[in-house]
Chains A and B, each alone.
Chain A
Amino acid sequence: NAGVTQTPKFRVLKTGQSMTLLCAQDMNHEYMYWYRQDPGMGLRLIHYSVGEGTTAKGEVPDGYNVSRLKKQNFLLGLESAAPSQTSVYFCASRLLAEGSYNEQFFGPGTRLTVL
């Protein structure tokens, strides 16, 4: 049981390049989330998904797109990378269950630098 995995772990892009970050979970979780972590700002939600084929905007969605074609995968895309998108990106997933107390499980993160 690998939990939540993220690919790649590190990446350096030039301004204007595109890339896709992959998040995969093997826990059969319905909910999945993408966050970015920047110094002094905690984690901010970019996009999230409540099930296969559905996505929604979070707090800071501009410049990103997402897709959830399979329940176990949640992709984050940058169409034209900008230096402001230099950050550490975390994916998380959560089980849909009664009550609001079930934890989110986090991946190890992807460190992205845009030059």
Chain B
Amino acid sequence: GNSVTQMEGPVTLSEEAFLTINCTYTATGYPSLFWYVQYPGEGLQLLLKATKADDKGSNKGFEATYRKETTSFHLEKGSVQVSDSAVYFCAPLAGTASKLTFGTGTRLQVTL
């Protein structure tokens, strides 16, 4: 089955710092790749996605590029804000019933 490895958190950054959250995966074939975000006390929301190799997903200043050769989908943002504090999940989607496999999540804390 699929599996995901995310960098352990928490990641603590000052506002306007550059963010990278690493994600690598193992999967059969070429899955679609997703980043979900979970704000405190809420459910998960889709942040961005990429459906094939070299695709770049982007949303709210966040970006991630589907790297087939390294099976990676690292999340980046050039300048984080306090409002970006949340838990971020990397998830490949594949197989019957389009099931997602979630990483353990990376908690991001942004301070002033």
Contacts and interface: CB of A to CB of B under 8 A. Distances in A.
A57 to B, nearest CB: 11
Contacts of A56: 97
B97 A50 contact: yes
B68 interface: no
Contacts of A4: 43
Interface of B: 4, 31-32, 34, 36, 42-46, 49, 51, 89, 93-94, 97-100, 102-105
Contacts of B98: 31, 94, 100, 102, 104
Contacts of B104: 40-42
Interface residues of A, number: 27
Contacts of B31: 100
A42 B105 contact: yes
